[in-house]
Amino acid sequence: MGIVVQKYGGSSVADPDAIKRVARRIVEAKKAGHDVVVAVSAMGDTTDELLDKANAVSPQPPARELDMLLTAGERISMALVAMAISDLGYSAQSFTGSQAGVITDSVHGKAKIIDVTPGRIESAIADGHIVIVAGFQGVSQDTKEITTLGRGGTDTTAVALAAALKADVCEIYTDVDGVFTADPRVAAKARKLDRVTYEEMLELAACGSKILHLRCVEYARRYDIPIHVRSSFSNLEGTVVTGSIEDLQENTMEAAIIAGIAHDRSEAKVTVVGVPDKVGEAARIFTALADAQINLDMIVQNVSAAATNLTDISFTLPRTDGQTAMATLAGLQAEVGFDQLLYNDKIGKVSLIGAGMRSHPGVTAKFFSSIADAGVNLEMISTSEIRISVVVAEDDVDAAVQSAHTAFDLDADEVEAVVYGGTGR
């Protein structure tokens, strides 16, 4: 049989008993005849605890040193998992990201994978070893420094390894049984999906679903790597992420209108008030934000007021980048000539996703009506071909998700969603 790449999140390796359970599952795959490569996250809340320690020592820890600190969590996990496998009578070798050949750019804290050169992994496999790789990390191609890939980066590590090794499948093990129509913590009657296209999963991940990391899905689509999302706490079949919208169109009878509803409470909204409505001003604003390495999500520009020839530009961004964005824009105020900046970090995003909505009129109206029925006001609206996203007050997110989930008949007949580990990763 071929190579299987598995990924285990923090809740799956949270304590010694969990690590032993993971080791048994890995050995089962080896017994079935597969060559097994595993990417592991830090144990439980280790990354958060390390961040707390860093912030206690320094209010602004240097990015290089923070990466050196945070990668320790995954190194602990990889060694412990390898030890547990050894106790089961199988040989395992653990590798850091740099030892595994994960090559990245030089951006600390959110590096991107440039290449994977898995020579040492292939040699270990040829010698009969199970390979355990520390996720979330790599080494910069230019500076040779240790880097981290950002939250959820172990997902990306796993898929990148699967692509480099030409694996048959990448199995992502988490603390729920697959991809659901909504977060089970919010919509208790969320249903598990058997199959999701890459495009739908990209939208779900981008809109706040915590099951898979966005860059992991992008990588999988680019290299056509099937992802099987499963729980490390049960033996149930999970959700397979594969194929495209075009595959669904070949048999529209099987295409669900809506794949699911995602929500995100990690964003903030910035409004630049009174921007002169002339060529180049918006470009100047967004170029400055790009230079500050800030990723924007939803962007809305109001119609220019005829009397003043001024407009307002609003956008959402990760809450962690909020103060950096405000400082960057404040430095532009004299140059651009806008009136003021407004900042709101008490917002949430709710998104409706489904490849089938392209050919079904009335989806937008039903979505907005369901949110209105929940008494929730909309602050921003953004759409793509298979997604509708709205910004609402943070306290209204649960009500909006639950109302839309019911309106689109996504509720399961019985409560079937189980959250084993409690964190969703």
pLDDT tens per residue across all 425 residues of the chain: 799 999 999 999 999 999 999 999 999 999 999 999 999 999 999 999 999 999 999 999 999 999 999 999 999 999 999 999 999 999 999 999 999 999 999 999 989 999 999 999 999 999 999 999 999 999 999 999 999 998 789 999 999 999 999 999 999 998 889 999 999 889 989 999 999 999 999 999 989 888 898 889 999 999 999 999 999 888 889 999 999 877 665 555 445 689 999 999 999 999 999 999 889 999 999 999 999 989 999 999 887 777 788 999 999 999 999 999 999 999 999 999 999 999 999 999 999 999 888 778 889 999 999 999 999 999 999 988 899 999 999 999 999 999 999 999 999 887 666 666 654 43
How distant, in Å, are the alpha carbons of 239, 369, 375, 393, 407 from that of 365? 29, 6, 15, 20, 11
Give the pLDDT of residue 416: 60
Contact 210, 45 (CB under 8 A): no
pTM of the model: 0.85
Fold of 3-250: Carbamate kinase (3.40.1160)
**Dihedral sign for Cα atoms in the order 155, 158, 164, 168:** negative
Which tokens is 117 given?
Answer: 């050169």
DSSP state of 151: T
Give the pLDDT of residue 251: 55
How distant, in Å, are the alpha carbons of 181, 370, 410 from that of 413? 13, 20, 9
C-alpha–C-alpha distance, residues 269 and 274, integer Å = 16
